[in-house]
Amino acid sequence: MPRVFTLCSVAVHALVIATALLVPLFAIDTLPAPRHPLTFEGVRRISIRDVPLPNPRRHATQAGDGAVALPGDPAPTSMPDGITHETGRESSGAAAAVVDAVGVEDGLGDAVGFGSVERIPPPPPVAPPAPIRLHSGMQPPRKLVDVRPVYPTIAQSARVEGVVILEAILDARGHVVSVHVLRSIPLLDQAAISAVSQWTFTPTLLNGVPVPIVMTVTVQFTLQGR
């Protein structure tokens, strides 16, 4: 009994689904009229005109200044008698066509039809950065090469001693490039300058970049066995 009920239920459902699918196919009705007729807006007529070709270039029997000779018949129709060496200037003789050559001469000449060609000067050399004075926010350079001053004999005989204060300019590599005296002892100045000029330091960095600096240097002269 349950099996018969199931088969009946399946048949009824199949009939309902088939009716729902087939009834619209057999329905007779008029299609709705469109609100606006289908038209193409903005249609324009296109007219085709023949564009005249430019006048052919002049022809001559010989090539003049600024002209290049072209062969009149680049495709031969007869078999040649032999093989000749190419020269790169082959032409068909007096019947060659000549066309104007437009281009730029070698070097810095004028360009035909394109104005004059000017030489662009190279950019000026970049000036080296000016040395900055060593201040408290910078780490002072470390001396790599130290040369002691030679005590002048005349200063020893005159019993002259003291401190010579110099101002030295170091380049970005740490080499002394110039020295001048701030506090002078006449008999000792040159000895101090000669020694400091041979000193070498580590590069001084500013924001991680080596820079030239100005620093103050003191040189002490002391007599022995006073």
Nearest to 100 by CA among 71, 72, 64: 64
Q: How do beta strands 213-221 and 200-201 pair? A: unpaired
Report residue 84's pLDDT band, with 50, 70 and 90 as the boundaries: confident
Is residue 15 over pLDDT 70?
yes
Give first-to-last CA distance, the chain, whole Å.
140
> Mean per-residue pLDDT for 89-118?
51
Residue 134: its pLDDT value, please? 80
pLDDT digits (tens, 9 = 90+) for 118-138: 678 888 887 778 889 887 778
118: DSSP letter: -
The CATH class for the domain spanning 132-221 reads alpha beta
> Mean per-residue pLDDT for 166-179?
95
In this predicted structure, which of 33-37, 141-145, 148-152, 222-226 has the lowest mean pLDDT?
A: 33-37
> Mean per-residue pLDDT for 132-149?
87
Strands annotated E in 39-121: 67-70, 97-100
pLDDT digits (tens, 9 = 90+) for 16-47: 888 878 777 776 666 666 666 666 566 677 77
Residue 9: its pLDDT value, please? 84
133 strand-pairing partners: 214
Is-contact 66 112, C-beta < 8 A?
yes
3-state secondary structure 23-49: CHHHCCCCCCCCCCCCCCCCCCCCCCC
Spans of all domains in the chain: 132-221
pLDDT digits (tens, 9 = 90+) for 43-70: 677 778 777 777 765 544 444 554 455 5
pTM summary value: 0.45
* Angstrom distance (rounded) from CA 22 to CA 115: 83
Residue 70: its pLDDT value, please? 52
Buried b (16+ CB within 10 A) or exposed e, 158-184: eebbeebebbbebbbebbbeebebeee
